[in-house]
Amino acid sequence: MAVRLNHTIVSARDHSASARFLTEILGLSAPVHLGPFAIVQVGDTSLDFMESGGKINTQHYAFLVTELEFDEIFARIRQRDLTYWADPSQKQSGQINEWDGGRGVYWEDPNGHLLEIITRPYGTGGSQSPKPHPLLKASKE
Protein backbone atom coordinates (compact mmCIF):
# COMPACT_ATOMS: atom_id res chain seq x y z
CA MET A 1 0.00 0.00 0.00
CA ALA A 2 1.29 3.46 -0.89
CA VAL A 3 0.86 6.00 1.89
CA ARG A 4 -0.80 9.21 0.72
CA LEU A 5 -1.90 12.32 2.55
CA ASN A 6 -5.71 12.30 2.60
CA HIS A 7 -6.48 15.64 4.30
CA THR A 8 -5.31 18.20 6.78
CA ILE A 9 -7.37 20.47 9.01
CA VAL A 10 -6.91 24.21 8.53
CA SER A 11 -7.93 26.49 11.42
CA ALA A 12 -10.06 29.46 10.44
CA ARG A 13 -12.09 32.23 12.01
CA ASP A 14 -14.85 31.68 9.41
CA HIS A 15 -14.40 28.26 7.80
CA SER A 16 -16.84 28.90 4.95
CA ALA A 17 -15.34 32.25 3.95
CA SER A 18 -11.79 30.92 4.23
CA ALA A 19 -12.53 27.87 2.09
CA ARG A 20 -14.33 30.03 -0.46
CA PHE A 21 -11.35 32.44 -0.58
CA LEU A 22 -9.00 29.57 -1.42
CA THR A 23 -11.25 28.06 -4.08
CA GLU A 24 -11.81 31.43 -5.75
CA ILE A 25 -8.10 32.34 -5.84
CA LEU A 26 -6.95 28.90 -7.02
CA GLY A 27 -9.88 28.37 -9.40
CA LEU A 28 -11.05 25.18 -7.66
CA SER A 29 -14.51 23.70 -7.19
CA ALA A 30 -16.67 25.21 -4.45
CA PRO A 31 -16.13 23.84 -0.94
CA VAL A 32 -18.25 20.94 0.30
CA HIS A 33 -19.68 21.25 3.82
CA LEU A 34 -19.64 18.18 6.05
CA GLY A 35 -20.13 18.46 9.80
CA PRO A 36 -17.85 21.19 11.15
CA PHE A 37 -15.76 21.29 7.96
CA ALA A 38 -15.68 23.28 4.73
CA ILE A 39 -13.70 20.91 2.52
CA VAL A 40 -11.57 22.08 -0.40
CA GLN A 41 -10.44 19.29 -2.69
CA VAL A 42 -6.89 19.83 -3.98
CA GLY A 43 -5.81 16.96 -6.20
CA ASP A 44 -5.83 13.71 -4.21
CA THR A 45 -6.01 15.47 -0.85
CA SER A 46 -8.21 18.06 0.81
CA LEU A 47 -7.87 21.04 3.08
CA ASP A 48 -10.64 20.78 5.65
CA PHE A 49 -11.34 24.23 7.10
CA MET A 50 -12.65 24.23 10.66
CA GLU A 51 -13.53 27.20 12.82
CA SER A 52 -11.25 27.92 15.72
CA GLY A 53 -12.52 29.81 18.74
CA GLY A 54 -9.04 30.77 19.88
CA LYS A 55 -5.72 31.85 18.49
CA ILE A 56 -4.93 30.54 15.02
CA ASN A 57 -1.48 29.05 14.58
CA THR A 58 -0.68 30.02 11.03
CA GLN A 59 0.67 27.45 8.60
CA HIS A 60 2.21 27.40 5.14
CA TYR A 61 0.47 25.69 2.22
CA ALA A 62 2.21 25.39 -1.17
CA PHE A 63 0.45 24.43 -4.40
CA LEU A 64 2.18 23.11 -7.51
CA VAL A 65 0.56 24.65 -10.60
CA THR A 66 1.18 24.83 -14.34
CA GLU A 67 2.56 27.97 -15.97
CA LEU A 68 -0.92 28.83 -17.29
CA GLU A 69 -2.51 28.25 -13.86
CA PHE A 70 0.19 30.45 -12.30
CA ASP A 71 -0.74 33.30 -14.65
CA GLU A 72 -4.46 32.89 -13.90
CA ILE A 73 -4.00 32.66 -10.12
CA PHE A 74 -1.52 35.53 -10.02
CA ALA A 75 -3.99 37.67 -11.99
CA ARG A 76 -6.68 36.95 -9.35
CA ILE A 77 -4.25 37.86 -6.55
CA ARG A 78 -3.55 41.20 -8.26
CA GLN A 79 -7.25 41.79 -9.08
CA ARG A 80 -8.03 41.50 -5.38
CA ASP A 81 -5.16 43.87 -4.62
CA LEU A 82 -3.65 41.32 -2.21
CA THR A 83 -0.15 41.90 -0.91
CA TYR A 84 2.25 39.29 -2.26
CA TRP A 85 5.91 38.43 -1.83
CA ALA A 86 8.69 36.58 -3.63
CA ASP A 87 9.89 34.99 -0.38
CA PRO A 88 8.46 33.21 2.68
CA SER A 89 9.95 35.77 5.07
CA GLN A 90 7.78 38.38 3.34
CA LYS A 91 10.62 40.82 2.70
CA GLN A 92 10.34 41.07 -1.12
CA SER A 93 6.93 42.66 -1.45
CA GLY A 94 5.31 43.07 -4.86
CA GLN A 95 7.65 40.54 -6.50
CA ILE A 96 7.60 36.92 -7.62
CA ASN A 97 10.56 34.54 -7.52
CA GLU A 98 12.16 32.45 -10.26
CA TRP A 99 13.87 29.92 -8.03
CA ASP A 100 15.07 26.71 -9.60
CA GLY A 101 13.86 27.63 -13.08
CA GLY A 102 10.20 28.08 -12.13
CA ARG A 103 8.03 30.85 -10.77
CA GLY A 104 6.62 31.28 -7.29
CA VAL A 105 4.72 33.76 -5.18
CA TYR A 106 3.45 33.94 -1.59
CA TRP A 107 0.36 35.65 -0.14
CA GLU A 108 -1.76 35.38 3.01
CA ASP A 109 -5.28 34.07 3.41
CA PRO A 110 -7.77 35.89 5.70
CA ASN A 111 -6.44 33.95 8.73
CA GLY A 112 -2.77 34.74 8.10
CA HIS A 113 -1.87 31.34 6.64
CA LEU A 114 0.95 31.79 4.14
CA LEU A 115 -0.08 30.42 0.76
CA GLU A 116 2.30 29.77 -2.13
CA ILE A 117 2.04 28.74 -5.75
CA ILE A 118 5.04 27.31 -7.61
CA THR A 119 5.44 26.06 -11.16
CA ARG A 120 8.29 23.67 -10.42
CA PRO A 121 9.04 21.61 -7.28
CA TYR A 122 12.13 23.01 -5.56
CA GLY A 123 15.24 20.99 -6.32
CA THR A 124 14.11 19.86 -9.79
CA GLY A 125 15.41 22.73 -11.91
CA GLY A 126 18.66 21.09 -12.88
CA SER A 127 20.59 24.25 -12.15
CA GLN A 128 21.60 26.22 -9.12
CA SER A 129 19.32 29.15 -8.42
CA PRO A 130 21.12 32.49 -7.99
CA LYS A 131 19.57 32.70 -4.53
CA PRO A 132 18.75 29.26 -3.08
CA HIS A 133 15.27 28.94 -1.63
CA PRO A 134 15.57 29.95 2.04
CA LEU A 135 13.61 26.91 3.22
CA LEU A 136 15.75 24.44 1.28
CA LYS A 137 18.79 23.09 3.12
CA ALA A 138 21.59 21.10 1.57
CA SER A 139 21.55 17.39 2.32
CA LYS A 140 24.35 16.19 4.61
CA GLU A 141 24.77 12.66 3.27
pLDDT tens, residue by residue, 3-19 = 999 999 999 999 999 99
Q: Phi first, then psi: give them for residue 69, nearest 5 degrees.
A: -60, -40
pLDDT tens, residue by residue, 73-97 = 999 999 999 999 999 999 999 999 9
Domain count, the chain: 2
Paired strand residues for 32: 39
Paired strand residues for 115: 61, 107
- Whole-structure pTM value: 0.86
> Do 19 and 83 reside in the same domain of the chain?
no
- The residue type of 87 is D
Residue 140 lies in a domain: no
Please tell me the distance from the alpha carbon of residue 25 to that of residue 12, in angstroms, as a whole number. 17
| Nearest of 65, 54, 49 to residue 118 by alpha carbon | 65
> Do 28 and 41 reside in the same domain of the chain?
yes
